[in-house]
Amino acid sequence: MSKRIVSKRMVIMLIVLVIIFGAIFGWKAFMARMINNYFDHMPTPAASISTYDAQQDNWALTLEAVGTVNAVNGVEVTTQVGGEVQHIKFRSGDEVKKGDVLVSLESAAAQAQLNALEATARLSKQEFDRYQSLFKKGSISKSELDNRQAQKDQTLAQAQAQREEINYKTVRAPFDGVLGIRQVDLGQYLQPGSPVVSLAQLTPIYVDFALPEQELSKINTGLKVRVSLDAYPDETFEGEITALEPGVDEATRNFTAQATFDNGELKLRPGMFAHVAIQLPQAEDVVVVPRTAISYAPYGNAVYVVQEAPAPKDTGADNEAARENDAQPEKQWIVKKRFVKLGNRRGDLVAVTEGLKPGETVATGGLLKLRNDAPVKIENDVKPSADATPTPANS
């Protein structure tokens, strides 16, 4: 009898425990569902943004490219013969003229050999003159005279070759330009072809750049070119296209153009990376917005267009309250993300070639907080700069 009572009590206790734990877990599930439902339907706070009305403008067409600065003439000055450095007539970084002496090699032995060859050449000439007189008298044959003439010509050529050898002992600047860093020392023995110093002609100077073959019909010699350099970010340099490569690269389908710059201040140096803008004679109507309005992304650039939010469905009570107060509801705004195609840039402005119409309002500030259909609040107290020719405040 007692065993039946104990088992019955245990069953009752288990049932009570199941009911208690079921109630606890059920309450937790109910609360979690209500919290999730609240957050799912919680109204998104409006993000504060600044705006700009897209404007139509007329811009001169420009093409942009990247290029490299190259010297008109640039060489590594080397020796043509071997020898010991006797004199160094320049300093690193000097400006030199064509023909200026840079380095002289030791030439005493070569000069002595030249003196001997010149003496032999004079003797050969005297003997040839005597043989010529004898030939006129009929004392010798024509072949003997020809043999003496060959000996004379040979000795003269040997002397001339030695003279040129001595000239090569003096290294001269092949053209006007600016020297680089000296690469030789006094007393150093140089082998033929050893580098002495680099020399570059910097005025004028070239900028070579490549463009797609589709732009070939727009490019002609004489077009104005503007170049900006990373070394001088606040300056632009003007030149003009002076040469076009006649062919197109089969691998890249690009053609190469060359622009010439005066470079009077010597700021353009060979090897520099250059941002190139080619001014075309044509112009086009474009829609422009500030660059801060563009959301840049690898999969495509976009803008957030500001639109009036659709009117909410009012209940009868709301309609009655609106009629009693006779007040107009405040406009609500949302943004729509729209992908666009960009064109040229000018200062703080960028041209939108596809995806935007003049007069449409776009967000220019607070873009990181925006998403499609997000509610926004327009605050144009502080607006980003939108100037075609911006000027720094400290300029």
pLDDT for 394 equals 53
Which tokens go with 148? 């003496």
Residues in CB range of 57: below 8 A, 6 or more apart: 285, 286, 287, 288
pLDDT for 384 equals 62
Query: Model confidence at 84, in pLDDT bands (50, 70, 90)?
Result: very high
**Helix orientation angle between 142-168 and 108-137, rounded to the nearest 10 degrees:** 160
Mean per-residue pLDDT for 246-254?
A: 93
Least confident piece of the model among 30-39, 47-56, 80-89, 298-307: 30-39
Higher-confidence residue of 271 and 11: namely 271
Q: pTM above the 0.85 mark? A: no
pLDDT for 302 equals 93
The ranges assigned to domains in the chain are: 47-59+284-378, 107-168
Q: Which pairing describes strands 95-96 and 51-53: parallel, antiparallel, or unpaired?
A: unpaired
Residue 194 CA: distances (Å) to CA of 6, 164, 308, 361:
110, 18, 76, 67
* Tens digit of each residue's pLDDT (9 = 90 or more) over 277-336: 998 888 888 899 999 999 998 889 999 999 988 876 655 555 555 555 555 567 788 899
Query: Model confidence at 107, in pLDDT bands (50, 70, 90)?
Result: confident
CATH class of 47-59+284-378: mainly beta
Query: Model confidence at 395, in pLDDT bands (50, 70, 90)?
Result: very low
Amino acid, res. 169: K
pLDDT at 57 over 70: yes
Query: Model confidence at 386, in pLDDT bands (50, 70, 90)?
Result: low
pLDDT for 237 equals 95
- Report the alpha-carbon angle 150-151-154, nearest 5: 85
Higher-confidence residue of 127 and 207: namely 207
Query: Model confidence at 382, in pLDDT bands (50, 70, 90)?
Result: low
